[in-house]
Amino acid sequence: MRRLCFVLAATAIHSGVAARVASAGPDSDVASGFDEGDALDLHLTIDYRLDIRRSAIRREMAGRPGTLPTDPEPVGADLVFAGQRHTVIPRLELGLFRDLSVAVALPYVLADDRDLELDQRDTPCVFGPGGTCVDRASSSTLADGILPADGFDGRNGGAGFAADDPMVFRAPTRHGLDQVHVGLVFAPMNQRRDDTKPTWKLGIEGRFAIGKVARITRADLDGSTGVGRGLHEVKLWTSMSRRLGWAEPAFEAWWMAPFATTSDSLFASPGFGARNTAASQEAGVRFGFDAYAVDQGDEGARLSLGLGGRVISHFEGRSYTEMWEVFSLAGESTGTGPLVLDADPTASGMQPLDHPGITNIENYLELGAKLHGRIEVGQRLRVTALVELGTETEHVITATDAGIDLPTCQSATSGDCESADNDLVSPGTVEVNPLHVPRIDLVGHRYHTDSVLTFVVGAQLQLLF
């Protein structure tokens, strides 16, 4: 009798553990195929995100009174960026074989708005030399002609703003597609099959450019609405999670890099001394846990709260920044802006070339935290709401090199080797980088991004079949 009771108790405990494992969260989901009694798993997900970004745009101030040659380069306030983006992301994951699935996602930007104001955050504001706020007379961006004195309103035909309005730039509202994401997911370990092990997943994802490339042109502001970057990218990732009673910790690590660009991408290299023209690579980790406040098993309801964090490293490379549209407008080859490029530095005179707007950025870190709540009904329906808060380390966003010193006669234009291999980028030779503009890329004139604050509000609906 005692033995029978022991067996029944052990069976009950094992069943309870299995039930808890089966009712784990999204990090433990594995879409499988051709399992006994379940031919194919199909997971449908719809995400909505509102991404809000605020940052200070500061600028190096060469020759600032009171600084010595040995002092660090002074950096002063200039502009404040504000942007928000609404995105809907439908995603489908279909089981192919045992613990192997294919996933397809199509992020669609409903609206993307971007503004720049003069930095007048201090209270009370003090203007003028040594002041705490920036006005139109003291903004280095306006003084250098990178923006018109009255600003530029891309939602009003390029008109200016009132003299007492701190707004100096408003971009056209953008919308549309950038990429389609297609990936494979494999789970070498699946806690649902073996409750002594965590769920371990490996993934590879290709992100293929299909959308209209983001550009801005004075002559066609109504058509300057694309959100695409003209980049194909590859992402490798791995994650691990495990349901442990009332908690489910999870961890993910990933790396993503561009592997090609489309023909109309702004990332195309102009040749000559241009280098580091590829888009920035990224690598990061995500970690956190879910705590189950209510768990009625597979057929009942479950309520969980989650807390997590992220650390993302953005590596040196070219990127769309807060200032890319302003730089692009100031570098239109049909105008007389200060950022127009020279397409052939070896030829006499100027061969005007549009500045793409995108620039080389320094390495920087992104840090963030997430809080979410999730309701699950049975094994088929899951609803999640989340908020995220993030920041970034200060970094330079105009760091394009002047070029590259080439050995022997590679840098000569017509057999003259005097300028070659001298540890300098020699003007008038193929060593010159056409993308380099001293007005914004030279030390003492570069732009920085600082005081970054990002905020995300999101919701997710999942249907699991």
How far from 210 is each of 180, 181, 206, 213, 316, CA to CA, in Å? 7, 10, 12, 9, 25
Average pLDDT over residues 383-405: 96
441 burial class (0-12, 13-18, 19+ CB within 10 angstroms)? buried
CB neighbour burial string for 152-182, b if at least 16 within 10 angstroms, e if fewer:
bbbeeebebbeeeebbbbbbbebbbbbbebe
pLDDT higher at 47 or 415: 47
Residue 72 is predicted with a pLDDT of 72
Angle formed at CA 411 by CA 410 and CA 412, multiple of 5 degrees: 95
| pLDDT band (50, 70, 90) for residue 71 | low
Is the predicted pLDDT of residue 11 greater than 50, yes or no?
A: no
What is the rounded CA–CA span in Å between residue 100 and residue 34? 10
DSSP character string of 100-123: EEEEEE--EEEEEEEEEEE---SS
- Which among 398, 408, 394, 406 is positioned nearest to 441, based on CA atoms? 398
| pLDDT band (50, 70, 90) for residue 9 | very low
Average pLDDT, the chain: 90
3-state secondary structure of 320: coil
| pLDDT band (50, 70, 90) for residue 406 | confident
What is the rounded CA–CA span in Å between residue 111 and residue 86? 5
Angle formed at CA 362 by CA 358 and CA 364, multiple of 5 degrees: 115
Which of 220-234, 273-287, 368-382, 417-431 is the least confident region?
417-431
Beta strands 174-177 and 108-118 are antiparallel
The two structure tokens encoding residue 314: 């953005």
- Which among 435, 271, 259 is positioned nearest to 360, based on CA atoms? 435
